[in-house]
């Protein structure tokens, strides 16, 4: 829904988008392009959380000479920015394939746009591997990383608005005297962090989605700035908030589950290490 509303045409609101997708593509339409993200989400998430936690550990050692020292706001800021910057390397190709698969059945009606030979609305890619291979063959490495600047502008502030609210909110709702937050506190703090992060990310997420969808049947945008200018000129400021509700609503449960799984996994591994090497 997020991609369709941000980069597609003819969707007035979220409900209309849901009904249109279901009418034209049935239930399967809601799961288009998900196999590639599902196959890579473990690697992507472990990289993001690993970079964040290891950067915090490094900063604590360098700045405070003690890895056990509670990280400061400055430490968390630097770690979140580093995680957001490095995430683009893995995230951009995954997002590109997902969006191309989701958007390849969308019609394009602008007469001013020079269409490619493929008829709009007809499938271009047979699956995620075929999509990745086709883009690589026709557009090279630059094509695989199409939209990377927009994604960088999305993820660097986005992960700042992800990890910082989580740490602050988790600390705020954890009862006094507790050594570590309970699972419910982690779940709520993670959900709030996800909603806040996606609210911050949505404007650049719109630009990224449009840049990556561009190229299935047409080439409309010359780059990130051109995409922003064209979108603003054609649809006004409101275009940068397309999909905001979908992003924030999905951000809560997905991030809540992500942080809960991360924290519980860490506790389980630490307990296992303690039992194995007392």
What local confidence, expressed as pLDDT, does residue 111 receive? 41
Nearest to 1 by CA among 12, 10, 14: 14
- Residues 222 and 248 occupy one common structural domain: yes
User: CA–CA separation, 79 vs 76, rounded Å?
Assistant: 5
Is it the case that residue 240 has pLDDT exceeding 90? Answer: yes
- Residues 230 and 259 occupy one common structural domain: yes
In a domain, 14, yes or no: no
DSSP H or E stretch at residue 5: helix 2-7
Are the C-beta atoms of residues 260 and 186 closer than 8 Å to each other? yes
CATH (domain of 152): 1.50.40.10
**DSSP string of 113-140?**
S-B-SSPTTS---SSHHHHHHHHHHHHH
In a domain, 76, yes or no: yes
Q: What is the pLDDT of residues 159-181, one digit of tens each?
A: 999 999 999 998 888 777 677 78
In a domain, 241, yes or no: yes
Q: Which domain-ending residue is among 113, 141, 169?
A: 141
Q: Residue 191 is part of which domain span? A: 146-277
In a domain, 270, yes or no: yes
Q: What is the pLDDT of residues 22-79, one digit of tens each?
A: 777 777 767 666 776 677 788 888 899 999 999 998 988 887 776 666 788 899 999 9
- Residues 257 and 170 occupy one common structural domain: yes
Cβ burial, residue 20 (10 Å; 0-12/13-18/19+): middle
Number of domains in the chain: 2
CB atoms within 10 A of CB 266: 12
In a domain, 174, yes or no: yes
In a domain, 132, yes or no: yes
- Residues 152 and 233 occupy one common structural domain: yes
In a domain, 10, yes or no: no
């Amino acid at each position: 829904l997020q991609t369709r509303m941000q980069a597609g045409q003819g969707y007035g609101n979220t409900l209309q988008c849901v009904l249109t997708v279901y009418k034209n593509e049935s239930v399967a339409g809601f799961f288009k392009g998900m196999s590639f993200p599902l196959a890579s989400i473990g690697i992507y998430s472990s990289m993001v959380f690993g970079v964040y936690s290891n950067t915090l550990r490094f900063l604590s050692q360098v700045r405070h000479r003690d890895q056990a020292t509670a990280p400061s706001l400055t430490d968390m800021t630097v770690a979140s920015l580093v995680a957001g910057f490095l995430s683009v390397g893995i995230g951009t190709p995954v997002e590109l394939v997902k969006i191309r698969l989701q958007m390849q059945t969308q019609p394009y009606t602008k007469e001013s746009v020079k269409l490619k030979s493929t008829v709009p609305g007809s499938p271009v890619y047979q699956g995620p591997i075929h999509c990745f291979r086709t883009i690589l063959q026709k557009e090279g490495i630059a094509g695989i990383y199409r939209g990377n600047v927009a994604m960088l502008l999305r993820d660097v502030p986005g992960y700042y608005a992800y990890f910082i609210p989580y740490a602050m909110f988790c600390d705020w709702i954890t009862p006094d005297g507790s050594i570590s937050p309970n699972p419910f506190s982690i779940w709520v703090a993670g959900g709030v962090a996800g909603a806040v992060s996606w609210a911050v990310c949505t404007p650049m997420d719109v630009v990224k989605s449009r840049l990556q969808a561009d190229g299935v049947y047409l080439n409309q945008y010359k780059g990130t700035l051109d995409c922003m200018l064209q979108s603003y000129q054609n649809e006004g400021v409101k275009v940068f908030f397309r999909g905001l509700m979908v992003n924030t609503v999905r951000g809560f449960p997905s991030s809540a589950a992500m942080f809960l799984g991360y924290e519980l996994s860490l506790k389980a591994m630490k307990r296992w290490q303690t039992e194995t090497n007392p």
